[in-house]
Structure 1
Amino acid sequence: MITHFYPAALRIITCVVAVCSAVSATLLGTVPPPDGLNVLDPADLRAIAVVLTMALGVVVPIGVLMVDSLKCLLLKACVFAAAGFGNAMMLSPLIVVPFQGTPTLLAVISSLALTIASIITYMESVERRNARRRANT
């Protein structure tokens, strides 16, 4: 059942992940570096967080849209899991800014939903393939 809606959900939810990640990274990039860090350089921490969020939350998920929606499902699950973890990193109390929590949380939830949907779609395709193989034997 989910395989029927997966291509549309992939396009829509990937756009949500990308937009929310871009908003989150932009908000983090415009504020001053966090205070109170003794070991890490605050400016470097902010720069790394912005680059990781843009790479894992915007560039890679948009790149996934260029592949056929029902191909490489396990790779897509891994990509969206990485996007979710990359955005979850932005929820740290050390680097979060006031409005940033909401789009970051939406990106994490959307990434998690696409990870689960990709795995379920993969499992359905394996089940269908096995059923065809048993029917031909």
Structure 2
Amino acid sequence: MITHFYPAALRIITCVIAVCSAVSATLLGTATPPEGLEILDPSDLRTTAVVLTMTLGVVAPVAMLIAEPLTCLLLKAGLFAASGFGNAMMLSPLVVVPFQEASTALAVVCSVALTIASIVTYMESVERRNARRRANT
């Protein structure tokens, strides 16, 4: 059942992830560097967080839209899991800035949802393939 709706959900939810991640990265990039860090350089931490969020939250999910929706499902699941972890990093109390928490939390939830949907769709395709193989023998 989920295989029927997966291509549309992939496009819509990936766009939500990309927009929320871009908003989070923009808000963090324009904020002042975090204070109270003695070992890490605050501006380097902020720059690293922005680059990781743009890479894992915007570029990688949008790049997955290039491939056919029902191909490379395990790769898509891994990529959306990495996107969720990258966005979850932005929820750290050392990095978070006002108004960023909501968009970051939405991106994390959507990334987890697409990870689960990709795995379920993959499992349905494996079941269908095995059923066809059994029917042919």
Work out the CA distance in 1 between the residues paired with 2:48 and 2:37.
Answer: 15
SS of aligned partner of 1:98: coil
Find the counterpart in structure 2 of residue 75 from structure 1: 75
Find the counterpart in structure 2 of residue 46 from structure 1: 46
- Letter paired with 1:92: S
Find the counterpart in structure 2 of residue 12 from structure 1: 12
Map Cα deviations across residues 76-130 of structure 1 (whole Å, 9 max, x no partner). 0000000000000000000100100000000000000000000000000000000
Work out the CA distance in 2 between the residues paired with 1:35 and 1:80.
Answer: 31
Quick one: percent identity of the two aligned structures? 77
Work out the CA distance in 2 between the residues paired with 1:95 and 1:68.
Answer: 36
Find the counterpart in structure 2 of residue 116 from structure 1: 116
- Letter paired with 1:108: V
Tell me whether 1:136 sits opposite 2:114 in the alignment.
no
* TM-score normalised by length of structure 2: 1.00
Find the counterpart in structure 2 of residue 86 from structure 1: 86
Find the counterpart in structure 2 of residue 62 from structure 1: 62
Between the two proteins, the alignment pairs up a number of residues equal to: 137
Find the counterpart in structure 2 of residue 126 from structure 1: 126
CA drift of 1:17 comes to 0.2
* TM-score normalised by length of structure 1: 1.00
SS of aligned partner of 2:99: helix
Find the counterpart in structure 1 of residue 2 from structure 2: 2
> Pairwise CA RMSD of aligned residues?
0.2
Work out the CA distance in 1 between the residues paired with 2:95 and 2:60.
Answer: 23
Runs (5+) with no aligned partner, structure 2? none
Work out the CA distance in 1 between the residues paired with 2:23 and 2:104.
Answer: 8
